[in-house]
Amino acid sequence: MEKKLIILGVGVVAVLILIVAVPLGVMFWPLKPTFIDRCKELNGYDCETWWGAFEQAYVGKDPRKVHMEDYDNFIKAVNFSAEPNKLMFWSKTKDVVHAFTKKKKDCFLTVEDTALGYMLDGLMSWCGKEGCTKTFRKIGCPGWKENNAVGSFWNRVSAAFADAARGDVTAMLNGDIDTPFNPNSTFATIEVKRFDSPKVKSLTVVLVTGKSAVTNCKNASLKDLQRELKKGIAYNCKEVTEAQLEECSSNPERPCGACW
C-alpha cells in the first residue's frame, strides 16, 4: 500500500513538473540558438547577419507596433528566389502539406521549406520591449492581434514568397471546412493578391479532404478565389483525399504533379 502511494506521489510530481516546465521552456527558451542552428542546417549562409537583420525588426520596440515592413532588411538579407512551378501555398492544411512536401521536396516547396520560413517555423512567440535590447518569448509578449512581431513576420515572408512565384503555382486548401478560401487568411489577404500575371501562369487548388469531406471544387469561396486572380492567370481545382496524397508521396517514381 505504502509503495503504491509512493509511486502515485512520484507520478503526480512528474506530471506537475511537465505541466510547469513545458510552458516555461516556451517562454524562456532563447530564440537565437534555434535560429542559428536551423540556419546552419541550410548551409552556406551568413547566419549572424540574418539574425541581426531579423531581430532589428522588433528589438527595442513596443511589441504592439511591429509592422511587416520592419522585416524588409531580413527579406533583403535572405534574397529568396525559386525555380518556376515549385511554390506550394496552403491554408488550414499545415500538417498535411508539410508531410507531403517533405517527401516530394524536389517537386514542391512551402515557405517553411525555404530560408524565408525555416528558421522560425512553429516557434510561436517572440517580441521586444522599448528601451531593451533583448528578445523575449511568450512572457511580456502581449497577445495583440495586429502588428505584433510574429504575425508581421509571417505576413512579410508570405509576401516575399508570393512575389517569388513564377509559372504554375499550387495551393493546398482544406476540403473539410466550409470555407476553404477564407477571406481573412494570409493566403487570401496577402499571397493571392501578389500573384502577378504574366509571371504566374496558373494556380492549381488542391482541395484536400480527410474523414469529413464537407465540400468540393464547387465551393462558393473558391469562386471568390477565381475572381481575385489577376487576368491571365489560369485556374484549376483538384479534389484529393489525404490517403491519396500519402500513397502518392510515398511513391518516389511518381512525377511531380501526378498526385492530383
Is 170 one of the binding residues for ligand AVW (CB under 6 A)? no
Footprint on residues 26-45 left by ligand AVW (CB under 6 A): none
Least Å distance between CB 254 and ligand AVW? 23
Least Å distance between CB 141 and ligand AVW? 14
CB-nearer residue toward ligand AVW: 89 or 108 = 89
**Are the beta carbons of 28 and 137 closer than 8 angstroms?**
yes
Q: Which among 28, 47, 31, 98 has a CA at the least distance from the CA of 242?
A: 98
- Stretch of 138-146, 186-194, 234-242, 249-257 contacting ligand AVW, by CB under 6 A: 186-194
Task: Collapse the DSSP code of 208 into the 3-class scheme (helix H, G, I; strand E, B; otherwise coil) and give the result.
Answer: strand
- Following DSSP, what letter does each residue of 144-186 receive, concatenated? -SSS-HHHHHHHHHHHHHHHT--EEEEEEEETTSS-SS-TTSH
What are 47's three cell numbers?
A: 547566419
Judged by CB under 6 A, the residue of 135, 152, 185, 215 near ligand AVW is 185
Rounded Cα distance between 71 and 76, Å, is 9
Least Å distance between CB 12 and ligand AVW? 33
Least Å distance between CB 206 and ligand AVW? 12
Least Å distance between CB 107 and ligand AVW? 17
Rounded Cα distance between 137 and 128, Å, is 9
Q: x/- site string to ligand AVW, residues 134 to 163, per CB under 6 A? A: -----------------x--x---x--x--
Q: x/- site string to ligand AVW, residues 108 to 137, per CB under 6 A? A: ---xx----x---xx---------------
Least Å distance between CB 55 and ligand AVW? 17
Rounded Cα distance between 91 and 190, Å, is 12
In angstroms, what CA-CA distances link 71 with 51, 59, 68, 147, 176?
11, 11, 6, 12, 34
CB-nearer residue toward ligand AVW: 71 or 89 = 89
Task: Collapse the DSSP code of 38 into the 3-class scheme (helix H, G, I; strand E, B; otherwise coil) and give the result.
Answer: helix
Rounded Cα distance between 21 and 100, Å, is 32
In angstroms, what CA-CA distances link 237 with 93, 106, 171, 187, 226?
16, 22, 9, 16, 10
Is 91 one of the binding residues for ligand AVW (CB under 6 A)? yes
Q: x/- site string to ligand AVW, residues 47 to 86, per CB under 6 A? A: ----------------------------------------
CB-nearer residue toward ligand AVW: 193 or 254 = 193
Binding site for ligand AVW (CB under 6 A): 89-92, 94, 111-112, 117, 121-122, 151, 154, 158, 161, 185-187, 191
